[in-house]
A and B are shown apart, each in its own frame.
Chain A
Amino acid sequence: MGFFDKFKLSRLKEGLTKTRENIFGKIQKILSGKTKIDDEVIDKIEEILIGGDVGVSTTLMIIDDIRKRVKAEGFENPEDLDRLLREEILKILSNGTDNNTNPFTLPVSHKPHVIMIVGVNGVGKTTTIGKLAYNYRNAGKKVLIAAADTFRAAANEQLEIWAKRAGVEIIQQTQGADPAAVAYDGLNSAISHKSDLLIIDTAGRLHTKINLMEELKKIKRVLQKLDPEAPHEVYLVVDASTGQNAIQQAKQFTAAVGISGLVLTKLDGTAKGGVILAINQELQIPVKYIGVGEKIDDLQPFDRKAFVEALFEK
């Protein structure tokens, strides 16, 4: 068994290197000796972008822009085209996406800072909150979590474990309680305990469920009774393996509670999360963090360059 496994593992790695070389190799081969973009090149770019969940519209737009630039600037070799491609994608991402160099600081203008976490079911909201709380606490902030997912069985217990791991306090009520009431309690407590940061967990909900979206609006309204500026941030958590539906998610959650940033989770798999390009293109919502694993320190500030690099890998 042992030998067999080792054999397979090395085979897998070999396989991965092979695919990586193949695509790069192919682009090189296709481009060699060419000074204009033909169908073959377009096909290849399309395959990479659409295959990375960038979506047809955004892909076509990128290709169109590149065509225009090639017409104006020309290109000498594959490296040039590669550079153009990357630049165009970075341009889309710069729509509101900063390079988040100092990720776990808080504005000094107010206290507590309130972050509300929303998203559809199973994207990794609770895990993200655990990681956020841990990072902010490490940065010397006093953090409180409010467990406003009162719907899913054992959501409380799950968040409690994460709070313990992060070493922060948590406010919760029983399952089935009014989530707005939990959020209100949380903010009240954060104010009286002089917390720097309150993170509010909400239940996963499909953006098409009207009642549940109304519930989210209510949470926001209730928070504003205590602090008219709250929540200062609303993060939409998006699973990197999600396809074009993420655009609808972003639209509907924005319409309901106004999204200020995205957290792209599960980027440690083979999914590329290219749909954030389309979201950036349409809604200009910056990506704040990426999740790359289940451990508490597997949360990183979003890095545009690294993201584009990964899009073209493998």
Chain B
Amino acid sequence: MAFFISILQVINNLLLPVFEELTQKLEGVFKKLRGQGKINEANVAESLREVRRVLLDADVNYKVVKQFIEDVQKRSVGQEVLTSITPGQLIVKIIFDELVKLMGTAQVEMRYASIPPTIIMVAGLQGSGKTTFCAKLANHLKSKGRYPMLVAADVYRPAAIDQLEMLGKQIQVPVVAERGRGAVEIAVDSIDKARKAARDVLIIDTAGRMHIDEEMMREVETIKTKISPHEILFVVDSMTGQDAVNTAKAFHDKLNFDGVVLTKLDGDTRGGAAISIRAVVSKPIKFVGVGEKLDALEIFHPDRMATRILGMGDIVSFVEKAQERYDEQKAKKLEEKIRKSQFTFEDFLDQLHEIKKMGSLQQLMSMIPGMNRLPSNVTLDDKALVGVEAVIQSMTREERQKPQIINGERRKRIATGSGTSIQEVNKVLKQFSEMQRMMKTFSKGKMPRMLRGMQVPK
């Protein structure tokens, strides 16, 4: 955690805190409305224009946004603005709540058959990530004590059967892989195979298909009719744009699926498709895919998703990334130091190296949705870090540990040594003392300002 805080501090010194972008925009709109006790139609309209823009940028469907804005408007008008929060915060809260409501409550359990095997059928467009998801689901169920079996019913894509077979081997789950037969036959016969092999869950990977391909849609419908799955999951790429409503609706009309799987959420997409799909088919999102490794499957959190879509940043993923890259023991030592107020320039240098390991600042920022739209006057320059590093490296060991001894003479020497200027040396020293001060506050249990700012008003 300490590491995370200090990264944030470094970043904070380099750019504006844009986490609160939407709230700030709304604050601007509402500034002139202070003192008006209620939200009314006139004053809500302007702020909702901002919200509309944010949602459209996040790829929520145009018509869904229109409807959503109308609903929020109706709900907001007449609401008392409490003195404890600003009207802008209230609007954001209403929107946030509505989004969460729209996406449904957290994970809905899967239906299991009273007489095994439970049949799960997986369908979707090409390239949405069905095959990988099937393997992840099998792996997940296996860890829950079930005995899954995978069925390769994608007989069209070259090597799709090989792919599922290889994935099955990796997680040690048996795979029904029959070449030269039709998808419907394979699926139907697999039920008996599962019974004979005493497997209690059957996961059927169907071929990717375009929702307007009548023949292929008929095939998937036939599979459904013939095997009566207990659960049909529709897999959709979280980067999908406006067309998400069309595909979801077409698949739903044919299959009446039970749940949605949102894949590739480990990228920086805002994932507005989640809202669009919920709005047109009202089926729960049950799983999200967050990586290519076979354990990278998570249950869906509507609140996290709403935060992400509103561009407030999926801060959780950011922290996870930082943790993933950071040495646990080092982090503990660092925390200890911070607690005892012994954080030195040596540690700071260490941190800079860690940040570098994570990639460029630009890339780091791209992990945080919403950060992509930084104001143009903010430059994300890795050179800024290089300068800081050079300054620290030009300090003696003693200076790094006791920066208070750095007098005018020493500053001059450091500036020359690092090829920077005295002003820059001063800037680094100032940053460092600010960082120390902030860490002290943190170690006393107070949250730094920036972290508070990132939270959604509840």
> Smallest Cβ distance from B254 to chain A, in angstroms?
10
A42 at the interface (CB under 8 A from B): no
B126 and A206 contact, CB distance less than 8 A: no
Stretch at the interface among A27-35, A92-100, A194-202, A269-277: A269-277
A275 to B359, CA, bound (A): 27
**How extensive is the interface on chain A, given as a class?**
35 or more
B240 at the interface (CB under 8 A from A): yes
Stretch at the interface among B104-112, B160-168, B420-428: B160-168
Closest to A246 in B: B239
B155-175 CB mask vs A (1 if < 8 Å, else 0) is 011111011011100100000
CB contact between B363 and one of A46, A56, A210, A242 (< 8 Å): that residue: A210
A151 to B156, CA, bound (A): 21
B301 at the interface (CB under 8 A from A): no
A52 to B191, CA, bound (A): 42
A269 to B211, CA, bound (A): 7
A252 at the interface (CB under 8 A from B): yes
B129 and A9 contact, CB distance less than 8 A: no
A242 to B263, CA, bound (A): 13
Of residues 90 through 133 on chain B, the ones whose CB sits less than 8 Å from some CB of chain A are 125-129
Residues of A within 8 A of B61 (CB): 51
Interface on chain B toward A: helix, strand, loop, or mixed SS?
A: loop
Interface centre among B126, B163, B165 (most CB of A within 10 A): B126
**How extensive is the interface on chain B, given as a class?**
35 or more
B242 at the interface (CB under 8 A from A): yes
Interface centre among A122, A123, A248 (most CB of B within 10 A): A122
B158 and A157 contact, CB distance less than 8 A: yes
CB contact between B214 and one of A9, A123, A162, A248 (< 8 Å): that residue: A9
A281 at the interface (CB under 8 A from B): no
> Smallest Cβ distance from B296 to chain A, in angstroms?
12
> Smallest Cβ distance from B280 to chain A, in angstroms?
14
A38 to B334, CA, bound (A): 62
- Contact status of A242 and B240, CB under 8 A, knowing A47-B62, A121-B129, A207-B267: yes
> Smallest Cβ distance from A296 to chain B, in angstroms?
11
A121 to B127, CA, bound (A): 7
Closest to B162 in A: A154
Residues of B within 8 A of A246 (CB): 239
Q: List 14 interface pairs A-B (beta carbons < 8 Å), by A numbering.
A: A56-B57, A241-B237, A241-B244, A243-B239, A243-B269, A245-B59, A246-B239, A248-B268, A268-B212, A269-B125, A269-B210, A269-B212, A271-B243, A272-B242
Instruction: Supply 19 further A-B pairs (C-beta < 8 A) apart from A123-B127, A270-B246.
Output: A120-B264, A121-B264, A122-B237, A153-B167, A154-B160, A156-B159, A158-B159, A207-B366, A208-B268, A210-B358, A210-B359, A210-B360, A244-B241, A252-B366, A255-B362, A269-B210, A270-B243, A270-B247, A272-B242
